[in-house]
Amino acid sequence: MVMSSESAAAVEAPPVQAAGPEPFEPGRDPASPNRNLTPITTEVDVKGRLQVGGCVLSDLARTFGTPLYVLDEATLRASCRAYSRALSQAYPGPSLALYASKANSSVAITALVAQEGLGLDAVSAGELLTALAGGMPPERIVLHGNNKSLEELALAADRGVTVVADNWRDIELLTELAPQLRQPVRLMLRFTPGIECHTHEYIRTGHLDSKFGFDPDQLETVLQHLAACGWARLTGLHAHIGSQIFELQPHRDLAGVMADGLQLARSLGHPVTDLNVGGGLGIRYVVSDDPPTIEDWVRTVAGAVAQACRDRNLELPRLLCEPGRSLVATAGLTLYTVGSRKTIPGLRTYLAVDGGMSDNPRPITYQSPYTAVLADRPGAEASETVTVAGKHCESGDVLLKDIALPPATSGDLLAVFATGAYNASMASNYNRIPRPAAVLVHDGMADLVQRREQPEDLLRYDVLPARLTPVI
């Protein structure tokens, strides 16, 4: 086990009983953090308390309050390195992994990912400005979106960010902007590849009912159109087939479809150098999840792209991919304080925590399962089956249904794992509940990277028309 703490107190973690009949092991595989349930620096100290990044979780809760997003720097860096290493080993040409920042967009995460040499995928002016503020070089950023505004396109073009043209409207708006531009716009073209993935199955069709990208039938027309646009420099093609995918075959099939697109684009005179195969690699949320390693995923994608290009006699493009979840999910966990407890005899026991669907909307949105332990007693026998509910006025506000935990009472601290992706970035203020703080832990230190919202912050954008001002 990785000993991240300077303190001699850290000891080898025993298997932890939680969230089901099987014990789970704290994350131990730094080569592919997406396969671990917990951050790679997770340990149990001599007092039996869980620590991550050398920080005792209950100390973090005392210092920063709960709910609290905790992000382990070592895990995030290990994931970045796993992608970069695998790409350079498995792909014979140049390559770059772009962090899909929709998974968790913040200035601090961007800075880390930029330091690790990755690029970034943004889908809005907000994500783009965050990336620029975090020091991501514009030439390593791509801007996605199926309905970009003129302002978003102008910002990207002005900063030298690559725009992923998703539809004709993008091209119309860029044509409108062209007279004001100082440089040609670096463009990629997104198309729907006819490969549809649900988590555990996929289908191939000629056309897809998707709001993203050009229909494959339109590809030739749009490529011809762009060849006549002086403002456009088409540098690449893009496709993305889905998220939380455990299968590798759809990615192999995608390579062939994209290589066909590359051949077509080059035959029409576009010097296309980049193939961007999107993201999608799944992670382990619960013990029974068994995603491929980052290395296997990259080896499959890289091998298939190289082979498809060889088969068509095409010069190798630069290979880009856009992992989001698999880079950041298992680096994160959320700490909650247990509050009320309600037992319905013969039916269910509810434990309510101080957050819920506003800081993690994934269970209510996708029925996503999670794994949790009591942060100060991770090794205690999980002798009760409980349902962990949030504090929102909604019966469906349940974070974990029927999980095994040691008997817990108010004041106990619950750690929910693998919340580093699509939690903070999808958080809301439902019920006017402020969003949690986020801390980055590393070598026994915790840095605040997102301040906790205060209830008063939520009033900042309210405007009371004068005629409604209460007369006192």
Binding site for ligand LLP (CB under 6 A): 100, 102-103, 121, 144, 240, 243-244, 278-281, 322-326, 362, 366, 422
Say which of 55, 80, 309, 393 is annotated catalytic. 393
Tell me the CA distances in angstroms from 446 to 9, 78, 450, one per residue in order: 18, 18, 12
Q: How far is the CB of 17 from ligand LLP (least distance, A)?
A: 27
**Structural tokens at position 63:** 């210092």
DSSP state of 471: P
Contact in structure between 71 and 36 (CB atoms under 8 Å): no
Close Cβ partners of 472 (under 8 Å, ≥ 6 residues apart) = none
Distance separating alpha carbons of residues 109 and 77, to the nearest angstrom: 10
Contact in structure between 103 and 324 (CB atoms under 8 Å): yes
DSSP state of 272: -
Contact in structure between 294 and 42 (CB atoms under 8 Å): no
Helix (H) or strand (E) holding 170: helix 168-177
Distance separating alpha carbons of residues 57 and 375, to the nearest angstrom: 6
Q: How far is the CB of 75 from ligand LLP (least distance, A)?
A: 16
Strands 162-165 and 185-190: parallel
Distance separating alpha carbons of residues 248 and 245, to the nearest angstrom: 8
Which has the closest alpha carbon to 439: 311, 302, 334? 334
**Residue 39 or 278 having the CB closest to ligand LLP:** 278
Q: How far is the CB of 453 from ligand LLP (least distance, A)?
A: 21
Beta bridge partners of 372: 416
Q: How far is the CB of 99 from ligand LLP (least distance, A)?
A: 9
**Residue 121 or 274 having the CB closest to ligand LLP:** 121
Exposure b/e, 342-372, CB count within 10 A at least 16 = b: eeeeeeebebbbbbbbbbbbbbbeeebbbbb
Q: Helices marked H in 232-282 — which ranges?
A: 249-267
Output phi, psi for 369, to 5 deg.
Answer: -85, 150
For residue 176, the one-letter residue type is: E
**Residue 2 or 426 having the CB closest to ligand LLP:** 426
Q: How far is the CB of 243 from ligand LLP (least distance, A)?
A: 3
**Structural tokens at position 413:** 């601290």
**Structural tokens at position 241:** 């087939």
For residue 196, the one-letter residue type is: E
Close Cβ partners of 132 (under 8 Å, ≥ 6 residues apart) = 138, 141, 159
**Residue 282 or 406 having the CB closest to ligand LLP:** 282
Q: How far is the CB of 324 from ligand LLP (least distance, A)?
A: 3
By the 10 Å C-beta count (0-12 exposed, 13-18 middle, 19+ buried), 303 is classed as middle
**Residue 294 or 386 having the CB closest to ligand LLP:** 294
Q: How far is the CB of 281 from ligand LLP (least distance, A)?
A: 6
229 classed as catalytic = no
**Residue 245 or 408 having the CB closest to ligand LLP:** 245
Distance separating alpha carbons of residues 424 and 109, to the nearest angstrom: 12
Distance separating alpha carbons of residues 187 and 157, to the nearest angstrom: 10
**Structural tokens at position 453:** 């919202």
**Residue 64 or 422 having the CB closest to ligand LLP:** 422
Q: Which residues are catalytic?
A: 393
